[in-house]
């Protein structure tokens, strides 16, 4: 009963539901949504803790029909269970999220996680490993987040993927859209032979070759499932300025969304969780970043629904 007690203790279900949809229980749903409003280790722009509710509210201003999948998301049964209350420390984040997500995985439904800073990915991956074995982790991000330590912390937004790679193995992680790295990180990537595609490569490789590279990686990796993590700073700041660590020369929305949908619906490994992190509402004056985050969630929901309905 410990895990159930954790959810009862730490879930704030007074948060608005995604797009204003009617709340369902996870057992009655096709997709589960949970928010993790955590930005304790933010080093440049804080405020991603406000993102889960902002994304939910902005989604209500978008159309819910996905032309990429021909799925009407209004007809998808969504269980938005609210936010996990984990504001105070990294240790509390890891404990609460790891155990709470482990319980949600028992429903055998795909999960969308609304962050929050990128640190939230670590305990979610830990839950997947404990319940289902090591997943492949596909990361859309401007940064590697592979430092061993940052600002005296070994677990934070700048080190999270190093901790994840240590858990799932270096062959089971791949980065798309990277363009901001440190010497330490590029040395580590080369030493461990971690696969990645820079954002600048998208332009001359084209979508077909990027998809082929992802598929080759998935087929060669020793994993049974796929975890997708989307840092909103992977988008070019012309489209997504309201992020914690913006970086020029990013990916255009149409390409990322097309890639995301095709990977979810057709990949060799079944996707189980998609997280969206690092949207920072206080720096999103026009609201365009939040709308893009909500659009990303909608396309992920449609693709997950199509994948799970057809299998």
Mean pLDDT score, 21-26: 82
The DSSP code for 19 is G
| The CA-based dihedral angle spanning residues 110, 111, 112, 116, taken in that order and rounded to the nearest 10 degrees | -160
Q: Specify the pLDDT at position 38.
A: 81
Q: How far is CA 50 from CA 214, 256, 274, in A?
A: 32, 24, 19
Q: Specify the pLDDT at position 94.
A: 81
Q: Specify the pLDDT at position 91.
A: 78
Mean pLDDT lowest for which of 85-89, 147-151, 292-296? 85-89
Q: Specify the pLDDT at position 105.
A: 95
Band of pLDDT at residue 157, cut at 50, 70 and 90: confident
State the average pLDDT for the chain: 91
In angstroms, the CA 303 to CA 301 distance is 6
Q: Is 173 left (phi over 0), alpha (psi -120 to 50) or beta?
A: beta
**Residue 301: is its pLDDT beyond 50?**
yes
Band of pLDDT at residue 151, cut at 50, 70 and 90: confident
- Collapsed DSSP state (helix, strand, coil) of residue 185: helix
| Tens-digit pLDDT profile for residues 53-85 | 999 999 999 999 999 999 999 999 999 999 998
> With contact defined as beta carbons under 8 Å apart, do 72 and 65 qualify?
yes
| Tens-digit pLDDT profile for residues 188-202 | 999 999 999 999 999
| Tens-digit pLDDT profile for residues 29-44 | 999 999 999 877 676 7
Q: Specify the pLDDT at position 45.
A: 77
Mean pLDDT score, 202-211: 91
> Cα dihedral sign for 30, 211, 161, 241?
negative
Q: Specify the pLDDT at position 10.
A: 79
In angstroms, the CA 175 to CA 160 distance is 13
Q: What single string gives the DSSP state of each residue in 118-184?
A: GGGHHHHHHHHHHHH-PPEEEEE-SB----S-BTTBSSSTTTHHHHHHHHH-GGGEEEEEE-B--HH
Mean pLDDT score, 11-18: 83
| The CA-based dihedral angle spanning residues 231, 198, 256, 33, taken in that order and rounded to the nearest 10 degrees | -30
Report the share of the chain in percent with pLDDT over 70. Answer: 95
Mean pLDDT score, 96-121: 92
Q: Rounded to two decimals, what is the model's pTM? A: 0.94
Q: Specify the pLDDT at position 6.
A: 67
Report the share of the chain in percent with pLDDT over 90. Answer: 71
Q: What single string gives the DSSP state of each residue in 212-253?
A: HHHHHHHHHS--SEEEEEEEGGGB-TTT---BSS--SS-B-H
Q: Specify the pLDDT at position 108.
A: 95
Q: Specify the pLDDT at position 34.
A: 95
> With contact defined as beta carbons under 8 Å apart, do 14 and 52 qualify?
no
Q: Specify the pLDDT at position 43.
A: 67
**Residue 311: is its pLDDT beyond 80?**
no
Q: Specify the pLDDT at position 1.
A: 37
3-state helix, strand, coil in the chain (%, to 5): 50, 20, 30
Structural domains in the chain, sorted by start: 2-310 (3.40.800.10)
> Cα dihedral sign for 88, 92, 98, 100?
negative
Q: Specify the pLDDT at position 310.
A: 67
Q: Which residue, among 117, 56, 118, has the nearest Cα to 298 in the 3D structure?
A: 56
> With contact defined as beta carbons under 8 Å apart, do 164 and 121 qualify?
yes
């Amino acid at each position: 009963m410990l895990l159930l007690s954790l959810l009862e203790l730490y879930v704030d279900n007074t948060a608005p539901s995604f797009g204003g949809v009617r709340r369902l229980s996870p057992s009655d749903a096709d997709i589960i949504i949970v928010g993790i409003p955590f930005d304790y280790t933010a080093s440049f722009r804080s405020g991603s803790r406000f993102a889960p509710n902002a994304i939910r509210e902005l989604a209500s201003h978008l159309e819910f029909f996905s032309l990429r999948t021909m799925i009407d998301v209004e007809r998808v049964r969504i269980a938005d269970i609210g936010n996990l209350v984990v504001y105070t420390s990294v240790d509390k984040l890891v404990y609460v999220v790891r155990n709470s997500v482990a319980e949600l995985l028992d429903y055998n439904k795909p999960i969308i996680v609304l962050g929050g800073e990128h640190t939230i990915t670590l305990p979610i991956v830990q839950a997947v490993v404990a319940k289902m074995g090591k997943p492949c982790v596909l990361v859309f991000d401007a940064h590697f987040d592979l430092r061993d330590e940052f600002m005296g912390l070994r677990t934070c937004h700048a080190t999270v993927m190093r901790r994840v790679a240590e858990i799932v193995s270096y062959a089971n992680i791949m980065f798309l859209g990277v363009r901001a790295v440190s010497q330490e990180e590029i040395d580590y990537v080369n030493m461990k032979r971690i696969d990645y595609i820079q954002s600048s490569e998208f332009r001359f490789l084209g979508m077909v070759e990027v998809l082929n590279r992802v598929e080759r990686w998935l087929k060669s990796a020793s994993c049974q499932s796929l975890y997708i993590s989307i840092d909103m700073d992977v988008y070019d700041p012309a489209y997504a300025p309201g992020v914690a660590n913006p970086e020029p020369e990013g990916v255009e929305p149409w390409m990322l969304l097309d890639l995301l949908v095709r990977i979810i619906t057709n990949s060799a490994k079944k996707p189980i969780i998609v997280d969206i992190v690092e949207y920072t509402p206080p720096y999103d004056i026009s609201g365009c970043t939040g709308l893009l985050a909500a659009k990303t969630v909608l396309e992920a929901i449609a693709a997950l629904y199509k994948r799970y309905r057809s299998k």
